[in-house]
Amino acid sequence: MRARRAFPVMLTGAALFLCTAAAGRPSSPPIPLRPLPALTRDALTARYTAGRTAIETAADAAEDPRTAARLRALAAPGRTFLDFDARGRAAEVVGDLARARRVAVLVPGADTTLGTFDSRGDASPGGGARALYAEARRLSPRARLAVIAWLGYDTPSTLSPAVLTTGHADQGARALRPLTGWLDAHGKGVALLCHSYGTVVCGRAAKNVDVTDIAVFGSPGLTVSSAADLHSDARLWVGRASGDWMRYVPNVRVLGAGFGADPAAPGFGARRFAAGGGTHSDYLAPGGASLRNLALIALGRTGEVSR
């Protein structure tokens, strides 16, 4: 409730007094991207082993026992990380990426860190990826789909001025492009599934990523006036749950603050998908219309998406 009340107030105020250049700049320098491996089973196995070692090393070095416990949970048997950096980056793979024909990349929003990678259940990247994969398997048991829970950028705090501008999103967009290009080059059909501030990341990346679909949910805006302004060949999908407080956010963009037109508006040009009656954190909750539709988009079965 605190975020629900504060976000619209901050957004409106930002249009009047924020210094865009300062507020839009990420608070820390970008973490250099690690080169991506060959997309073979052996290369990925080696990469996953290195990721587990890096997580265990970070857990051993953590001074806070709670931090250490959260990190050790990431290194649990069966979990596979394509990338991990203790400074705040992680990309977990759910499913067989080497054999996959379709890959869904979950792009999270504000307040997502290594500490919250799992802690909010299906509203967290890790839990959300597992929920999406399970739903896709339920719908199509033999589908060759992998899901990547991607924390590849420095997400802003919900209650900071930076969440009102594109500085962090631009950083994320730059980091997202090599991943999607790598997957596309290996013949994978890629769907970006983007939540909240993560939709700003996807909007900023849209014209430079090789993906078949971009699905945005709980979005404050994509910094454009219409779907056509994204200059992307991808199908653009939008969902907004009836209980999502994001509907109260002013759709403005003034002096670099705010994110412009509502992508869920009828005239924006996006394809709607039914998102049910949940809240801002419920889009990947099992049993909901939103999870089913996002799984169908991930699978490429777009003709079955309910509106």
- List pLDDT tens digits, range 198-223: 999 999 999 999 999 999 999 999 99
Per-residue model confidence (pLDDT) at position 304: 97
Q: What is the mean pLDDT of the chain?
A: 89
In order of 9, 196, 250, 290, the CA distances from 160 in angstroms are 12, 15, 17, 29
Q: Name the CATH architecture for the domain at 2-304.
A: 3-Layer(aba) Sandwich (3.40)
| Domain locations in the chain as residue ranges | 2-304
Classify each residue of 53-74 as buried b or exposed e, where b means 16 or more C-beta atoms within 10 Å of its C-beta. Answer: ebbeebbeebeeeeeeebbeeb
How confident is the model over 66-121, as pLDDT tens digits? 999 999 999 999 999 999 999 999 999 999 999 999 999 999 999 999 999 999 99
Task: Report pTM.
Answer: 0.90
* pLDDT band of 254, cuts 50, 70, 90: low
Q: Are 278 and 131 in contact (CB under 8 A)?
A: no
Q: Percent of the chain scored above 90 by pLDDT?
A: 81
Residue 26: pLDDT band with limits 50, 70, 90: very low
Query: In this model, does residue 10 exceed pLDDT 80?
Result: no
CA 67 vs CA 56, 90, 100, 107, 119: distances in Å: 12, 15, 33, 23, 11
**Residue 18 pLDDT > 50, yes or no?**
no
pLDDT at 256: 63
